[in-house]
Chain A
């Protein structure tokens, strides 16, 4: 098994699916001639041509809406937002259209669409380019929202997203593109809507996803040296949310910390904590802790920005408060 970057895993998934299904095509800003602003589609323009790798103007509303229309009419578009921050401009296309089309017309339509969007903070891009707004999109029934944490999951879940007949927002944390992991040769799919235990432990359950998952795993390794064995559950999909592995783990550890890069208020941690107390109250031994982004816009200045973001020390501190 080769150790490849998440970027390479995503590129491989896209290329394999483009070869597998003629209806799959890519559209977005700088996906073609430029090769993708994060180089995920480098070489695709030459390999597949301008019909299937379509550069668009800087027009997020129509990128989102036209992708929905093309999906309704039988294609399987992969539309890329240069960053998830720009998906805000297309919010109506994503929420009012991609997510509601099937329901509102009584099941007449299907929208087999993948919206790829890199996101996340920590790169000194300032307040408008550093959001982790995943939870906002996950609020709405009709959309599937996924965000993988490893190259293996990234490849398998992107394939699943392309093959499902429902609209999927596929969020890629930009700081994970360089993360390496083992990825097998050939075709495989990682199903959407299935959480995954990434590390087994008995003392505390850490629930995380995407970049937060990598932070949680690093924290768990440090905690292990101090004799605290954390179980780390990777949500992978925010909607539909698979709580079963979280609850199973919690029934073993009786304690939980939720790690997310988005803001704390109304966040993933709030949802997971509520679900644990609703569905696992009898097992609750301690307050459920949340490690999340501070309640401030992300500033440019490096140290100040880092102080607002999640990190290994914050996760360790949260664990130690309850273990």
Chain B
């Protein structure tokens, strides 16, 4: 892994974290509405895995989607504008935080019904297989999604049809406020994949290198004709499920313990230990990210609201 790559991953992880801190402020200021689910703590998952994909691969995820959108390379200005419900947003202000997508980059959202998008991923993978390409689908979901019918039907069909899909469970230990051991009978979630004869591995989600390596390996297996693969990536969200979460279901001590494994901190320590960059150089990256975000917030705040007639556009292709 070359130095530039590692520093760019660091930049991407900081971008996600700082972007979401801005979102949190904008939410509290009443400028972002609806639900807001922060990805803080899980940054190494999106950064490690999406950077392991090839250009024609697809990405689809659930409603905790800001990180995936930013790593895919969606325009930060347009992502921030979507948060504020502006016409310049990635989804023209019609989707909001939970419905970011960038179809040009093969990022299909941003889906808010738990587990449903696993079925969409199944279909996207089918389209690639049908057309005989070598593209795969990276489909992200939480531990809570492994209990819904969509999960089981999608894994099963991907196995029956040998579809090129990588199932990525971001196990952040809670389905909303219900801990894994309270919401699922098989708490070792990767075991569920074996029910559909899908090879699975468990990965440390706080280690961006481990995530990257595991994703590369799984994608290689898919492209080698070994069918769908499954990763359970162990991670933790440092903030609540969404803004306004009373956090009654976990202790401060538990959160503090996980924060010691902050994925950005781990990467920072690695960079310094390996002399890939100095503390000053990392701070310069942080500062550049803040400047980039100042611009994004300004862009979003100064962008126009959707025109009234937009209410009735995009319902059908052919009216």
Contact = CB atoms under 8 A, between A and B. Distances in A.
Contacts of A285: none
Nearest to B111: A97
A2 B239 CA distance: 68
Contacts of B160: 57
Contact of B122 (A69, A110, A141): A69
A72 interface: yes
A57 B156 CA distance: 9
Given A144-B316, A166-B318, A96 B126 contact: no
B276 to A, nearest CB: 38
Contacts of A103: 94, 314-315
Contacts of A92: 113, 116
Contacts of B58: 73
Contacts of A306: none
A144 B90 CA distance: 26
A108 B157 contact: no
Interface string B88-109: 0111111100010111000011
A240 B312 CA distance: 14
Contacts of B154: 62, 65-66
B153 A61 contact: yes
Nearest to A113: B123
B88 to A, nearest CB: 10
A103 B122 CA distance: 21
B317 A68 contact: no
B72 interface: no
Interface residues of B, number: 46
Contact of A68 (B102, B123, B315): B123
B315 A106 contact: no
Nearest to B126: A70
Nearest to B139: A69
A104 B318 contact: no
A51 interface: yes
Interface string A73-117: 111010000000000000011001100001111111110100000
Given A93-B116, A104-B99, A69 B317 contact: no
A69 B119 contact: yes
Interface string B289-319: 0000000000000000000000001111111
Nearest to B109: A105
A71 interface: yes
B65 to A, nearest CB: 12
B318 A25 contact: no
A245 B124 CA distance: 41
B94 A106 contact: yes
B91 A70 contact: no
A36 interface: no
B119 A64 contact: yes
Interface in B129-152: 130-131, 149-150
Contact of B89 (A62, A69, A106): A106
B135 to A, nearest CB: 9
B67 to A, nearest CB: 18
Contacts of A65: 116-120, 122-123, 150, 154
Question: What are the 9 tightest A-B residue pairs by CB atom distance, in nearest-first order?
Answer: A65-B119, A69-B123, A106-B92, A73-B127, A69-B120, A66-B123, A107-B314, A62-B153, A70-B123
12 contacts: A61-B150, A68-B123, A69-B122, A72-B108, A73-B123, A75-B126, A97-B116, A103-B314, A104-B95, A107-B313, A109-B108, A166-B317
Interface of B: 58, 89-95, 99, 101-103, 108-110, 113, 116-128, 130-131, 149-150, 153-154, 156-157, 160-161, 313-319
Given A93-B116, A104-B109, A106-B95, 6 more contacts: A65-B123, A68-B120, A72-B123, A102-B316, A104-B91, A141-B315
